[in-house]
Structure formats: C-alpha cells, structure tokens
Amino acid sequence: MSDGAPVVHARGLSKRFGDFTAVDRLDLDIAKGEVVGFIGPNGAGKSTTIRMLCGLLRPSAGEAIVAGFDVARQPEAVRAHIGYMSQKFSLYADLTVAENLRFFGGIYRVPREELAARMRFAVTMAGLEGRETALVRTLAGGWKQRLALGCAILHRPPVLFLDEPTSGVEPKARRRFWDLINSLAADGVTILVSTHYMDEAEYCNRIVLIDGGRLVAAGSPTELRKHDLGGALFEMESATLGAALTVLRAAPGVVEAAIFGDRLHVLLAPAADPAALAPLLAARGIAAGPPMPITPSLEDVFVRLVSRHRAPEAA
C-alpha cells in the first residue's frame, strides 16, 4: 500500500438478496488511522456492507479494496489483515477469558513467544486482570465486548471492522469502549465502526450516514453539524408524546416533528410562528409545554438528512 492511499476503498459496492437491494452503489474511502462512524437506522445496510468488506459476503456489483486486497478476489488475504467484531456477540461462552484469547491466538497463528504478552495486553485493555479464569458467560456486557475487541486485535490487524460493538452496553462502558477505539486509532489502526447510537458519532473523525442501502451524507461531525436544516428547531414537552406528534406533523408551518427521548423536536419553516403551536394542541385537549428554541444536535441533523433522503420532493 502506498502512502496516502485509502486503507478501505469501495466504489459502487452493492449487495442484492434476490430482488431486494440491501446495499446500493456505495462509495467509501477510509484513510489510515481514521475512525469512521457508520450510522444509519436498522436495516440501513451497515452489517451487509461490513460483511462485504470482510469478505463474508460477495458483492453483487462494485469493488472494494481493503488493506490493499480485493475483497471478492483475495478474501483470504483480506482476512489476514483485518479484525472483525460481528454484531452478535461471538465468543465462546463456556470458555474462560484466557481460553478464548488462546483460541483466537491459535487460529490467527500468533507466534507462540508473543502470545503471552499479547494476551496480557488484551486482558489489561478489557480491564479483566485477575479474571482470566472466569467463564465468559459470567461476564457483564461491557467486559464481554471489550474482551471481544481484545480477541479481534490479538493478531494486530491494521484494519478493524466493528459492527455495533456497543449495542446493549451501559453508557459508562460505552464511553470506555470508545476510548479504546480512539487509542487504537492513535496507534495507526484504521477503524470502521457501526452504531445506531447517534451520540457516539461525536467520537468519530468522520461519519458516513446511510439509509436504505444508500449513502445519505458523509463528513466530520463539525461539518455535518453545520448542515442547514432549512428552518428553526424547537423542543417541546408533553405527557402524551404520540398524540402530540400526530397533531404537530399535520400543523401548518411544521416541516418535521420527531420524538427525541422524552421530548419532541419540531422543525418550523422560517416564516412560521412557534406561538401558534400551543393553541393547536390545546384545542385537541393535549397538554404540552411551550416550544423552546434549541441548537440542532448531530442527531437532529441525521434525522433531517434521512427524511429528506427518503422523500426529496417534500424537502
């Protein structure tokens, strides 16, 4: 690989299952040491893309080069240069921490004289010192995921594909996991990590947003945040979110409304009057707080981008 060439490079990458297109002409470039967040709703095609890049699925069209090797023609060479964490937890539950590491060290042919040191590194990284003989099934989610990462990097791969590694992990452990990802990247590892936690986008150098198998947007968090939503954003509280949402979506001047946690985010056309919303809700007997202007978060931008992507004529 020459300097500066992307470590992961895909052009027109597509995957069809029967007549359903799961990934549609995706272009992707990831530079050495970059952490790219792969973001999109469930079913967007994140896992399918990652599996193609790992050589687990054959692309229906397009090409992808990973670490200098063509995924369709040289899948074995690709495999030797990547680490992968599948979306489903996939360590052996009935093996201990050390036995799992030794197993993956064995099938990746980690030199015997180095295995002990690398196992120690992985154990320390996962925060599992002193628990080497614990059965993996007895570990809590965060530890399991860090151990899985430890197994995936035992052979020092230059490229890592992590498919929703933090799903189902509590926030503090997620934070810790991202610290690990960033420290690996600092050592020069190139990482593509998918997630459906929008807040995790902040930890990435770059974000690739996909929906329905297609690229929606790409850029750094700062670039994406600057994206013009095409209106002003307001936050509202209500005890009956669902009912309020229905009314707001039909209200004049509302470009878009969505539930964000326990609140509503409402995007109003520049000329619309926010004060008109409360009487509209009250007329339907829905109690709601007053609309408060807020600065859009990355998540607001993603929601807007995805809905604009889905219905371009409405936007």
Binding residues for other proteins, rule: CB under 8 A, are 51, 54-58, 75-76, 79-80, 82, 84, 86, 88-95, 99, 102-109, 135
Return the residue of 7, 13, 28, 44 that touches ligand ADP, per CB under 6 A.
44
Select 90 or 183, whichever has its Cβ closest to other proteins: 90
In what side-by-side order are the strands of the sheet with 254-260? Answer: 254-260, 263-268, 232-237, 292-293
| 47 interacts with Mg ion by CB under 5 A | yes
In terms of Cα–Cα distance, which of 297, 46, 63, 45 is closest to 193? 46
Taking the complex as a whole, the smallest distance from the CB of residue 226 to other proteins amounts, in Å, to 37
Taking the complex as a whole, the smallest distance from the CB of residue 117 to other proteins amounts, in Å, to 18
Select 184 or 254, whichever has its Cβ closest to other proteins: 184
Residue 89 burial (CB < 10 Å; 0-12/13-18/19+)?
A: middle
Say whether 29 sits in a helix, a strand or coil: strand
CA geometry: angle at 112 spanning 133 and 91, to 5°? Answer: 40
| 254 interacts with ligand ADP by CB under 6 A | no
What DSSP line would sit under 86-130, residue for residue?
A: -SS--S-TTSBHHHHHHHHHHHTT--HHHHHHHHHHHHHHHT-TT
Select 26 or 236, whichever has its Cβ closest to ligand ADP: 26
| 21 interacts with ligand ADP by CB under 6 A | no
Taking the complex as a whole, the smallest distance from the CB of residue 29 to other proteins amounts, in Å, to 22
- What lies within 8 Å, CB to CB, of 190 at 6+ separation is 7, 8, 30, 31, 32, 33, 34, 158, 159, 160
Taking the complex as a whole, the smallest distance from the CB of residue 196 to Mg ion amounts, in Å, to 8
| 43 interacts with ligand ADP by CB under 6 A | yes
| 40 interacts with ligand ADP by CB under 6 A | yes
Taking the complex as a whole, the smallest distance from the CB of residue 151 to other proteins amounts, in Å, to 8
Task: Please report, as ranges, the residues that interact with ligand ADP according to CB under 6 A.
Answer: 17, 20, 22, 40, 42-48
